[in-house]
């Protein structure tokens, strides 16, 4: 798996990592921006992310994976496809930022593949403050599921891990900014 991780780091640095002046979703200013979707939506990047997350979650007793739409959409898809082909099928779910205004008006899509109380892992592309990941976890729990793990491609190491810990979640990340720069730089 270490070679897969090195290759993903190289792809992330090539496709997703930019330096400059940016404003993040949290409102914070940053000297770098990490757009994981570019890598996650590439064929190789999707396969690597799905493979590495499945390896990370192999000891977790879960029925599926989920995340906040739009950032987690390709992550959830990659994990579900790889999980099926590896013989440990995990279902996916997506959490909307706003409830649908039509149909049954739900926040969480994919619940039909789960039963009340099922355990899931929540995925995120980038954790800065942990706010969006915590919000997604809250909605999934409100829908009757239990969150057993929270995972990210990148932990920016800007307080999100501690905030998630306060909420009872231990963040598992494929990379911190430091490890990404070391492996992919």
pLDDT tens-digit profile of 121-166? 999 999 999 999 999 999 999 999 999 999 999 999 999 999 999 9
Instruction: Give the max Cα distance, the chain.
Output: 48
Q: Are 48 and 42 in contact (CB under 8 A)?
A: no
Q: What is the arithmetic mean of pLDDT over 10-28?
A: 92
Q: Is 153 annotated as a binding residue?
A: no
CATH number for the domain spanning 68: value is: 3.40.50.2020
Q: What is the arithmetic mean of pLDDT over 32-42?
A: 95
Q: Is 131 annotated as a binding residue?
A: yes
Q: Is 126 annotated as a binding residue?
A: yes
Q: Domain residues for 125?
A: 2-184
Query: Alpha helices, DSSP H only, in the chain?
Result: 2-15, 36-40, 43-56, 73-85, 131-142, 160-166, 177-184
pLDDT tens-digit profile of 78-103? 999 999 999 999 999 999 987 666 66
pLDDT of residue 104 exceeding 70, the answer is no
Q: Is 15 annotated as a binding residue?
A: no
In what order do the strands lie in the sheet containing 108-109? 108-109, 91-95, 64-68, 119-127, 146-155, 171-176
Q: Is 139 annotated as a binding residue?
A: no
Q: What tokens does 177 get?
A: 């900014």
Q: Is 124 annotated as a binding residue?
A: yes
Q: Considering its fold, how many domains does the chain have in total?
A: 1
Q: Is 129 annotated as a binding residue?
A: yes
Q: Is 100 annotated as a binding residue?
A: yes
Q: Is 127 annotated as a binding residue?
A: yes
Whole-angstrom Cα distance, residue 165 to residue 151? 12
Whole-angstrom Cα distance, residue 172 to residue 150? 6
Q: Is 102 annotated as a binding residue?
A: yes
């Amino acid at each position: 798996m270490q070679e897969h991780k090195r290759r993903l780091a190289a792809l992330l640095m090539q496709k997703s990592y930019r330096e400059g002046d940016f404003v993040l979703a949290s409102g914070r200013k940053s000297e770098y921006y990490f757009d994981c979707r570019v890598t996650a939506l590439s064929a190789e990047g999707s396969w690597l992310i799905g493979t590495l997350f499945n390896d990370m979650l192999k000891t977790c007793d879960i029925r599926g994976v989920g995340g906040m739409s739009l950032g987690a959409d390709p992550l959830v898809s990659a994990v579900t496809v790889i999980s099926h082909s590896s013989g440990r099928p995990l279902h996916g779910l997506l959490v909307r930022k706003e409830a649908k205004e039509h149909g049954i008006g739900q926040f969480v899509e994919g619940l039909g593949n789960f039963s009340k109380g099922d355990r899931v892992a929540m995925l995120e592309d980038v954790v800065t403050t942990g706010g969006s990941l915590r919000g997604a976890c809250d909605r999934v729990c409100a829908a009757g599921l239990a969150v057993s793990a929270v995972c990210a491609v990148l932990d920016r190491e800007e307080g999100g891990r501690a905030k998630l810990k306060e909420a009872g979640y231990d963040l598992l990340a494929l990379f911190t900014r430091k490890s990404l720069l070391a492996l992919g730089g």
